[in-house]
Structure 1
């Protein structure tokens, strides 16, 4: 009997340890990345995937505290000059050394990326010069004072100058005038692991659009080998199949499980974590003379009238949306960032008042309302199409007959950026955790040359607000900058230039032997998914 007991026990022990020893991780994503190029699209789905492969000079933890990345330290030499000490001993996935040349090349490439739906030039447009003092010392000179530069640099991925065919010497020049760039590869080339070469904890193995992205462990990673040998990220855009994949064991973790399924997931023994995010869901209105998709106004655009914009805002019952559609996993919003984040004022949520909304429409000359189309993605944000349908019904009650045009995220963003929607619903997560992020991206006057307003597809413009915002972004004193950002946001919201709806509460579900610290920025970072520690 003893001869039989040992093998049986050995088999039992191995089987029992198998989950802890597993070296593969599979994640079901709510949305699919639109490109492997980390400089193509400021979209959280793209960013969270790219962060596995590429790194930046700085990084941010789960609560958006800025910490060293590829730069181990930095200092402000004067109001417009920063010196960065780059980390030594860092290798790219192809074995080449990371140096200041790669950083200069990476920043030079940003304005050369073609057809970007939301360009990263918002972060590079203010850079006047970059000089490598040596391979691991870099000086960046900004056009104006920018106290947030180290924070913003987290968004600028460093790519390999060698892998992308740069010359031996790359010289920085603003607005795409760099020298030594060679033949710059465009975004489709990054589908190849030979081009998508970074310094991150994982290296690209393969990317199959519509199916999966696979990354593998980079054993020479400067921060220590990651926990997983292989990570598979699968876009499962439909809620039901995504939950089913988790429950069936086809994936180990999913993001954004449907709120109505959370109890079922917990009852099945899975781990569920959540946290309030900095993502604002908002309505933006096209404020140009020739806005499409509006009827019953004799060719006029009623959205140019702030009374109409206010009527739309107070027609929305945000509490009802948060409670009934979002199941409590949202917080009604009065600002573009949740207080007490930097630059917020504690402004109250616009009060639901449909009768006053009707009065405002009549005062603006539209007593019988008008017709309009509301654009929205149907697979990008939590319950996005349901929220849009609810908003449409609420607008209809005050006389604005609203048709919802829902499409997949990739289609929606392309159409939004082509200004096809007179009003649209979308979301924004502040990469800096600072009010300047939504202000300069969503409502600053659109200017391709300066990089301001890249996601202002409503073309709202308030020159006085622009002045305050630009001054705030060049103010070193934190207290003064905070006050000025509050002033700038108040100017926009008093004008109803954009309409905040709610802040998302983000949820992740995973197998019980995994842990994940919820991130304020909502990113699902494979490198931060950890095996659960034994009790």
Structure 2
């Protein structure tokens, strides 16, 4: 269902920034053979596994916690804390749980922990992106016995096992009442007090902005983990991150800068591994407010409520040029919210053709022959070349009359502002946690609906009842072929309505020191479990 591209090579590499500091210095691994240090482009915002549905957070929790069901590098389902699962009828699922598993503090795992975890999800305070998208369909839960869990859904939910694979299971005995209230607090996970899972590694230390240190769980049910100790070091700047690898300060880095990949691949002391991800970089537009922020010269109107303006923006952008010139070819131009070949992606859709003349014509037809002024919001440290991509988009829009300036900020600032609807247009990304089309559709373009768990990241507040109906029907369709067709139809409706503008899919790269190998992951997770000794 997913397509992974992988490559590995070595050769000579001298980074301008690192050259002076490392002149005459060979790549030397300073860490112990059984210790692993990983340089991260983006660190988790919290160790609370239910706080923020964000790639760095989800990658981090999978070291400490386990899911009821796991996903492999291609997002295929694997047994986790559940060894088997099956539908008993259209709305009832039975999960057989793994026996003999203990949390890191010695408390035993059973069905009550799963029930407690799912009940906690909607009660996480101040969650920027909630995991309720995966739990809203659940009507009731029952522990038939300590190791048999029955879950009933409001309607048929064929994707329930896939959705549950995105949830970290916490200990009811450890967490209940630990924060002095009904539910555990995020800060108690960050301090390590409640960072107690059943996963392959145990919490040792978390210093925000400096390091996350984990130690091996020798009692792990899945077998002895490879590394005695794993240290994650956030190094958001590209140059210092690569320099840290070259100097031996770290053993692995994620997201090496695209412009340096050819040199890295030519270095005999470096291995590079790359794979197509499920992450789409997109533009969202405010299609709700009458007076939208960041827009001038429209007589107080919100231009993005007009489909012709949205289409003009899309036609104004040369996606293939962005892939070639900004991304260095390490990306794939996007025609929808998930790459072709993944479940629910329409193989017939094509990338929007670059048509600046057509864009100008549409703007004139919409009443903006002279264009207007626009502020484009973007993070500058979250996605690969995010600010550079935004600057390129701004140049393309300016050429057709939409005079665009870029407002770039760190991810922590950007997401707060985006969630407060401070941008009329913004650039962001989404990775499909389920590996299929319902994930971006529900999160990014479904009409916001807390009861359904829809639209949690739809900050453009796009709303199309026909799209919602297709999503609803797809999520209740047990037949895989029928469900995929419905998801394709929903995707087509959104794209043809220009409800959101996909730009490209990221190709994710990791670089390791000689002697190590990395298995690329479709979900872009940087995982110590994916690092092995090179053969």
Report TM bin, short chain: over 0.9
Shift of 1:20: 11
Match of 1:360 among 359, 362, 368: 362
Asked whether 1:251 is paired with 2:250, we answer yes
Report whether the alignment pairs 1:323 with 2:324: yes
Name 2:44's counterpart in structure 1: 33
Q: 1:240: which partner in 2?
A: 239
Question: Given that residues 177 and 184 in structure 2 are in contact (C-alpha distance below 8 angstroms), is that contact kept between their aligned partners in structure 1?
Answer: no
Contact 2:31–2:37 at 8 Å: present in 1 too?
no
1:497 equivalent in structure 2 = 499
Q: Quick one: distance in 2 between partners of 1:267 and 1:114?
A: 48
> Aligned partners of 1:20, 1:42: CA distance in 2, in Å?
32
Give the drift of 1:483: 0.8
Q: Are residue 45 (structure 1) and residue 47 (structure 2) matched?
A: no
The answer for the alignment partner of 1:486 in structure 2 is 488
Shift of 1:267: 3.3
Alpha-carbon distance in structure 1 between the residues aligned to 2:403 and 2:162: 43
* Map of 2:392 onto structure 1: 390
- What does 1:306-385 correspond to in 2, within 5 Å? 306-346=307-347, 347-385=349-387
1:6 is matched with which residue? none
Q: Secondary structure in 1 aligned to 2:86?
A: strand
The structural deviation recorded for 1:193 is: 2.4
How do residues 96-245 of structure 1 correspond to structure 2 at under 5 angstroms? 96-165=107-176, 183-245=182-244
Larger radius of gyration: 1
Equivalent position SS for 1:155: coil
In 2, the alpha carbon distance for the partners of 1:343 and 1:129 equals 28
Distance 2:387 2:527 in 1: 26
Structure 2 distance, partners of 1:55, 1:96, is 15
What secondary structure sits across from 1:88 in the alignment?
coil
Per-residue CA deviation, residues 487-511 of structure 1 (Å, 9 max, x unaligned), is: 1111111100000100111100001
* Alpha-carbon distance, 1:291 to partner: 1.8
Matched, 1:420 2:393: no
Aligned to 2:21: none
SS in 1 for 2:142: strand
Cα deviation code 1:93-146 (max 9, x no counterpart): 001110111101100111110111110011111100000011110000011111
Task: Give 1:191 deviation, angstroms.
Answer: 1.5
* Matching of residue 272 in structure 1 with residue 272 in structure 2: yes
Residue aligning to 1:54? 65
**Is contact 2:53–2:131 with CA below 8 Å preserved after alignment?**
yes
Residues 40 and 235, structure 2, Cα contact 8 Å, conserved in 1: yes
| Secondary structure at the counterpart of residue 374 of structure 1 | strand
Within 1, Cα distance between the matches of 2:119 and 2:281?
32
CA distance in 2, matches of 1:528, 1:260: 25
The normalised TM-score by structure 1 is: 0.92
Question: Which secondary structure state, in structure 2, belongs to the residue aligned with residue 197 of structure 1?
Answer: coil
Pairwise CA distance, 1:450: 2.1
Deviations 1:176-208 (A, max 9, x none): xxxxx9631211111122211100000110100
Structure 1 residue runs of 5 or longer lacking an equivalent are: 1-17, 168-180
Contact 1:20 1:513 in 2 (8 A): no
Match of 1:518 among 517, 520, 525: 520
Contact 1:247–1:265, Cα closer than 8 Å, also in 2 = no
C-alpha separation in 2, matches of 1:284 and 1:134? 47
SS in structure 1 of the partner of residue 375 of structure 2:
strand
Is the partner of 1:52 in helix, strand or coil? helix
- Where does residue 171 of structure 1 map in the other structure? none
SS where residue 282 of structure 1 aligns? strand
Give, in angstroms, the shift of residue 158 of structure 1. 0.4
Match of 2:81 in 1: 70
- Of structures 1 and 2, the one with the larger relative CO (CA 8 A, separation 6+) is 2
Whether the aligned pair in 1 keeps the contact of 2:121 and 2:131 (CA below 8 Å) is yes
Structure 1 CA distance for aligned equivalents of residues 110 and 414 of structure 2: 39
Matched residue, 2:407: 405
Is residue 301 of structure 1 aligned with residue 312 of structure 2?
no
The 8 Å contact of residues 159 and 198 in structure 1, kept in 2 or not, is answered as yes
Partner of 2:530: 528
* Equivalent-residue separation in structure 2 for 1:71 and 1:20 (angstroms): 36
> Does the 8 Å CA contact 1:191/1:206 hold for their aligned counterparts?
no
2:445 is matched with 443
Q: Distance in 2 between matches of 1:49 and 1:348?
A: 35
Contact 1:20–1:531, Cα closer than 8 Å, also in 2: no
Matched length: 504
SS at match of 2:262: helix
Contact in 1 for aligned 2:176/2:182 (Cα 8 Å): yes
Aligned to 1:178: none
Partner-residue secondary structure (3-state), 1:257: coil
Deviation at 1:449, TM superposition (A): 2.5
Could you say what secondary structure the match of 2:63 adopts? coil
2-side partners of 1:403 and 1:294: how far apart? 11
Any unmatched runs of 5+ in structure 2? 1-28
Which residue is equivalent to 1:15?
A: none
Q: CA deviation at 1:21?
A: 6.9
2-structure distance, mates of 1:84, 1:244 = 47
Give the superposition deviation at 1:19. 8.7
What is the match of residue 10 of structure 2?
none
Offset of residue 166 of structure 1: 5.2
Structure 1 range deviating more: 191-200 or 88-97: 191-200
Shift of 1:421: 0.7
2:102 is matched with 91
Contact 1:74 1:85 in 2 (8 A): yes
Aligned-partner Cα distance in 2 for 1:47–1:414: 19
Name segments (4+ residues, structure 1) moved above 2 Å: 18-21, 263-268
| Matched-pair contact (CA < 8 Å) for 2:30–2:249 | no
In the alignment, the residues of structure 2 paired with residue 392 and residue 20 of structure 1 have an alpha-carbon distance, to the nearest angstrom, of 44
